[in-house]
Structure formats: structure tokens, C-alpha cells
Structure 1
Amino acid sequence: MKRFDTFPPLSLRLKLVLSYLIVALGAILILAIAVSLAIQNYFANSQRDQLRSEGEYRAQQIGHLYRAYGGDWRSVPLQLIQPGGPELLVIIDQNGDPLLQIQPGSLKLSDDEFPVLRQSLILALQGQENDGRLQGGGDDSSFSGLYVSEPLRYNGQSNGNMIGALFVAVPERFPQASVQLAFLSNVNQAILIAGAGVALAVIIFSLFLARRFTRPLESLTTAADQMRQGDYSRRADPPKSKDELERLAVTFNAMADTIESDVTELRHQEQLRRDLLANIAHDLATPLTAIQGYSEALADGVIAGEEARQETAQLIGREVQRLRRLVGDVQQMTSLDSGRARLELAPLDMQALVDETLEVIRPECEQAGIALRNEIDPQAAPVMADSDRITQVLFNLLDNARRHTPAGGNITISAQPMSEVLRVCVSDTGTGIDAADLPYIFERFYRVDRARTASAGGSGLGLSIVKAIITAHGGTVSAESSAAQGTCIYFSLPLAAQSEREKYVGKGATSNYAS
């Protein structure tokens, strides 16, 4: 025997159609049963009322006939009393003795129905009109149908003396009953035809409605499947229904936008990681190759003379320092990215800190013919920052500007308070950065021809470290550049709270970074 779960699953559209059809057919079936029962009840009540009226009329006529013949049953011509159709007719006198019994054709009372007949006549002799149904014996020859019993009174008056009782019954196979059954059959047939029409209309309507409901879901399913296969640009088509389906599609598309953005960012980060490893390997290989070459030359005695050997040793020392800077920058970036770097936050006078930093770098700039200017207002409010980290930011930015500003150029540091932050600008009059490169200059090891060549001494991590330090302080970093005016690097730092400023009064801005 096959299990039910071996059948193919039904689609949501088919489930909706079947559910609508079942509800409609159920409603039609209930309506048909209710109408059929109502009609049957109406016909039964109508037949009962008609039989009761006929019984009352016959009782009055028999009472008048009894009076007309002197009030003696023996003188009354009972043969004149005939039923109006195939009726069962029984008359008894006031003593309960039978006077007349007429049975319709071959139909006879079953033995089980005689007690019913007797009890009904007894109630009539007691002055109680009563009616009911004879069930019959279950075969075609037994009588079954409605009955009524009426008391017979002298002169047919309700206050006359009791003279007997009348029992009248109509069989179910009476022609009038056949007409009623035919009418009921026609009604049921009409309901069946109407039900078929309604079912067809329900199927058509439910198909239309199910398609309207399932089309957005199919769009969602297709979009989700495409995303599962790696196409994160796929979106669902939101229906213009202003309901849950539209909200679901809009929410799905918003989720897809987030996923696509996250995946794009992850791919970008993965590419950055690969580039980082490749750049580190390249930047390590260059000084190591130089050190190896110089060392082998010294060992093989290729370099003769004490002065030449001293110069080679200095070259090796510079390459080692270059390696140390690169390793230090990588370690610092790793520390900042992982959140392990601790910031010693305190109120910091940016004008004083910039003066200290410029004094350190001034000899190299003067030798290169570059002018340095500090345009920060001495009265500027202090910022809440780590002095050593901010000094490193200034050194990285100033060193980058120095190496790529020609002789006769200027490097200027200015600041402007904005709301709850101080916005600092380190600008130079160099050749500028191409617009295509500008969005990427803060990425690790990203180099442009102007400022990112290894031969110029940069590790490719300077601006990345600047961004990481400023971000750790809760600030932002941006850049503007043009070929005519040079480059300006902006960074913002939060201003110190008023309570911290009061503690700060009288303190200087010192840093251990340059020491």
C-alpha cells in the first residue's frame, strides 16, 4: 500500500485553489441541506394544516348529519360519508364502538399502528384534537402518513355534546405528496446546477487570486535562489498591493542590499589582505636583497678599502632601519585593527603639539627649501586625545607632505572648531593626487606615483595608520587634492569636556613620540 507522502507536494497556488473550492462547496452543501430541510418542513406543516382543516370540516358535517337524523347513529346513512381521496377514515361513537372504517385501496394498517389509532381516538373522545404520523410496517402494503383525530359533537358545534370521534389519515404516496417530492427534487437539482456554476466561478476567481498572491512569492523565491547561487545583485519585484507581501518584498530587497554590501566589503577586504601580504613580501624582499648583496660583497672582499666598507656598512644599516620601520608599521596597524592599542586620553593643546612636531622636522624641511607654518589659534580649545598617537599622526602627514613638496613650497597646519570637534588640516603645495586615486589613499600599501613609491622611503602604511589612530579617537579623516593647489589632509578630534578643560589649565602639551 502506497504511503500518502509519496505523492508530489502541492504548490501554494493549488493549495489556495483547493481551499477556496472546498470552502465554497461546503457552503453550497450546507445551503442545499438547509433549503431542502426548510422545504420539507414547509410541506409537512402545510400538509398537516390542510389535513387538520379537512378533519374539522368533516367533523362539523358529520355533527350536522347526526342532528338531521334525530340524533341516532343507527338512523344516520354513514354510506354517504366518502373520503375525498385515498384516505384512511375511521368513525367511532361516544362509547368507542366503531361505526365506519374505510382504507385506501390495498393499503392497510400494520399491527404496530393500531395502538396509535386507538390512543388518538381516545384523546379525541376526551375532546382533544391531536395529530401525528403513522410510520407503517416498512413494506409497500402498509399505511404510512399523517393523521388527525377530531371530536364529533352534536350539531357540529364546539359546545355540543360529545357523540363520537373521527380519525383521518393521508398516505405519503398521495398524489399531492408526489408533487411535493417532485418540487423538492427540482429545487435540489437547481441548487446542484447553481452550485456547479458557483464552483466554476470560485475556481476561476481563486486561480486569479492565487496567481496574484503567489507571483510576489515566486519572485522572492527566484531572487533568493539566485542569491544562493552567488548573484547578490538579484532583487524581488515588490507588488503594488500595500500589504504584507509588499512589505515582505521591500524588506527582502533591503536585506539583499545589506548582504550585497557586506559581501562586496568582504571581497574587498579579502583582496586587501592578499595585497597586504604581497606588498609586505615585496617590501621585505627589496631591503633583504640589498642587505644580502652588500653582505656577500663584504664577505667576498669585493669591496676594497676602509672607506668603501664603511659606506657599505652604512647602506646595510639604512636598509635594516627601513625593515624595522616597516615591521613597526605593520605591528602598529595590527594592534590598532585588533583594538589592543590603548589610548591615554587627556586634554591636548593642538597648537603647542604642532609647534613641537614642526621643530623636529624643521631642519629637514629647511634643507629641502620648504617653509612650515602653524596657523592654529593659540586660544583654540583643547582636544581629548592621546598625545603620542596624535604626534605620530602629525609626523606621518608632515613627512608625507615633505617628501612630495618641491623646493619653494609650503606646508601649513590649520584648525577650525566645528560643533564638538576640532578639524585639523595639513596642507601642502605639491603636485596633488589624481582624482581616481584620492578615494584609496588611506588603504594599506596603496601607492600613487606622487606619494607612494617605495624608493621615496614610504612603507605604504603611513596614511592607513593615520586613519586607524583618528578612527580610534572617534574622529574622521578625509582628503582634498588638486594639481594646481596641492593636497590637504583633514582629520577631526573630539573637543575636551568643560570639566577636563579646567583640569588642563596650566599644563603643557608634551609628547614622548619624538624623543
Structure 2
Amino acid sequence: MIRSVHGKLAAIMLALFSILGFILIIITLFSNRMYFQEASQRLNRSIAKELVSHRVIIKDGGVNEPVMVEIYNDLHQVDPGVQVYVLDRFGHILASSVRSDELLLEHVALEPIFMFNSRKGKLPIYGDDPMDLNHRTIFSACPIPTKGDVEGYLYITLGEGEDVSIGKMLAASHIARLSIYYALLGLLLVSITGLILFNYLTRRLRKLTSSIETFMPPDDGEISLPEDAEKKIPRDEIEKLQMVFDAMAKRIKKQVWDLEDGDRLRRELVTNISHDLRTPLTSLQGYLETLLLKKNLSDEERERFLETALKQSDRLRRMVADLFELSQLDAHGVRTHPEPFSVCELAQDIIQKFQLSADKKGVRLISDFSSHLPLVVADIGLMERTLENLVKNALQYSSDGGIVTISIHQEDEEMVVQVQDTGPGILKEDLPHIFNRYFRAGDSAEDAPEGTGLGLAIARRIVNLHEGELEVLSTVGIGTVFSFRLPVLSQERMACGTDS
């Protein structure tokens, strides 16, 4: 609940309302207390003046004790918290209604009394409480006598000071308690209303998040969230929506890139086909036109021209087939179908297939591997095409007396397949380009006119399709070695296949 936007908003709202309610309650209680004190002091403002006007409090330079007792008794019947003090004109306490041992002050500040009698200060006005050093209280005061030279002051504390606690006020006032109850009830009703409104306002956000999640396809291994987001638990709907949006944006970018890449590959294919087919078509057209124009050709010359035209036609056929295969590999249109097989048996079949061609060139085609090597897992058809291209390339660049070797050995959990020749080798500056289309190292193109120039490019794409890399090592004058690696069939997978 707290992880959702609705939950967070509700928690924040409740916290704010609680703080606001607490502040309002404190302000209300404080205001009520201040109002009560102001009303009490205003109501009793003239009490001291009335007493001084009608009674003789200071007589013959001293305090009239019987009058003091009478004043205290009258006031105490009305308010038991009232205390009466007689001050001299400097504020010293001359007499009081309390015992002398209860007095903690011998002197009362006169500034509040002056302010009270001048009627310039705003009520409530607080004065000293002789019975409490830390307590200030509301009062009523009047100079003695009311007219003429001041001999002293009648100072009456009203028994409700500024330090009255809220707890005491609540305990003593039913109205105050009732106000608190109503305030809490109002806060509860507002909170419930806010929760309902937040739930209503955020339901569209939750619906949008759910709709986007439903729209997103299952993860197919190609489109996924960033690594840091995959382990991250969304804190609310907004962050969840952000994560889903990022995944959708990533998917859309990849789809746009795939479309652009596919369009680029199609344009390249059209360009390459028009360029690659021009040479054999031109050659084929030239020989056929010669046969048509020259009527006096001998049978031997006519046969030679026809053989050349047939050879160009066959080269054109092979080039079209290679171009189509390479374009499919470049456009990711070929899917592998891995299965366990013996790469040694496959290599032996390749050797038998090219043995006749090797014998015609005077090249020895030999094998270097054990028949007891474990099985590998790969697409056997694509691996056959790879080995054919590598062996064909090795034979093309090997002269009479050369050797082409297919060697296979195991390294840890991989099988290393190598095709080695004793040809002229490849220059160091040519090595980065040998997998490019139609690239021929040095002047060797004249030594292998029957090649299409696409074999190595196709072989590399196939190895890459198996998540491998076609590597090459070459030394000028000694020969070249092409190698790649295939995964060995594991015991777990072999057991799984047996159970199946």
C-alpha cells in the first residue's frame, strides 16, 4: 500500500492533517486561555479602584488591618484564588492576605501596574506573583489614594496566571474537551474524504500503468530492462511506469535500428548484385556475340568459345548462390539448428569431396585428428559449408606439391578446428581485409580465377552466427591457418538427450 502513489499521498496527507490538527488545537486552546484571562482581567479591572474609593486601607501612615481582612474575606468568597497585597509607593509589600512564610517576593514590579492604570496596554497584562518566583499572573491594581499624592498601591492577584497548563484547562473545562473531540472527528472525516479523492485521482494512473504493461510483449531475451533496473523494485506506479516506458523506448529504438539496418542491407544487396554480376555477364555476352558475328570460326574455336561461355555461366551461377547466402547471413535471415554430431566425420567427408580436385592440382589433402574425439554441438549444415569454403580457399592458393591439412583437437570444453595450407601466405597489411567481399591478397586473384571471392566472408558470418570467431594466422612464404572453436557436447546435455 505504502509503495503506491495513492499510499504515499495518503500517508503524506494524514501526516500533514495530523500536524495541522495538532497546531490548530494548540492555537485554539492557547487562544481560549488568553481570552479567558483577558475576560477575567477586564471584568475585574475596576475592583481595586472600587475598594480603594470606598475603604480606608492606609491610615496614619500604616495599613488598616481590619479593612484588609474584610477585603480579603469578601473577595475570597467570590474567588478562592484571589490574594490581596498592599504595596508602598516603591512596590514593597507592606501587608498581604497570605502568611509571611509563603511570600517569596518582598517587592512587586510597578511597570505592569503603571501600564494597567494608564489603560494603554492590551489585556491581559501580567504582573508578579509574590507566591511564585516563576509565575506571572493577571491582576487588578489601583494607587492609594485614588487622587492626590500616592502613598501606596492595592494589588490584587486574580488567581489565573499565564502559566495555566493545557491539561488543567482540559480537565476543568467540558467545553474545551468537547472542542477537542469535535476537532479530531473533523480531522478524521477530512482524512477519509482525502483518501477517497486520492484513490479516485490516481486510478487513471494505475490503469495506464497496467495497460502499458499489458501492451509490452514478454521478454524474449533480446529486449530487456537495463541491468540496474532488473534488480530494482519499483517504489510506486510512477517509477514502474518509467521503467516500462524505458523498456518500450529501448524496444522501439531496436526495431527502428533493425528496420534501418534491413533497408541498408537491401540497398547494399542491390548494389552488390548489380556490381558483382556485371563482369561475368559482360564476359558471357562478349563470347556469345563473337560466336554470332564471326561465321568463319572453326569447330575447335567455336567449341573453345562455348566452353568459356559455359564456364562464365557456371561462375555466374555460383556467384548468385553465394551472394544470396551472404545476404541472408548479413540480414540475420539464417537461424541455426544446433545438434550433436561428430566434427571428425564431417571433416572426413569434406576431404573425400575435395580429394579429386586436390589430386588434379598436385596438392596433398590430409587429416590430423583422432576418431575418438567427443561430439560437438552446432548446425551441421552450416559447419559443412564453412569447412568447404575454407578447404576450397586453401586449395585455390596452394600450388603443385602443396599440403592442405584439416586438424581437430580438444581444448577444455571446446573443439578447435583448423584448416592449414602451405600457400604463399598473406601480407600483414592484408590480414584485416581478407574477410571482405572479393578481396584477394596480393596478386593471387590470377592464380584462382574460378573463385567468387565470397567464401571467407560466408565462413566468417556462419562462425559468428555460432557465437564464435574465425581466426587467421599467416606467414609469408610458409602458409596460412584458419581456425574456429565449437562447444563440446556436455555430459548433462548428453544425459538429457538420452532420457528424451
TM-score of the superposed pair, with normalisation by structure 2: 0.48
TM-score of the superposed pair, with normalisation by structure 1: 0.47
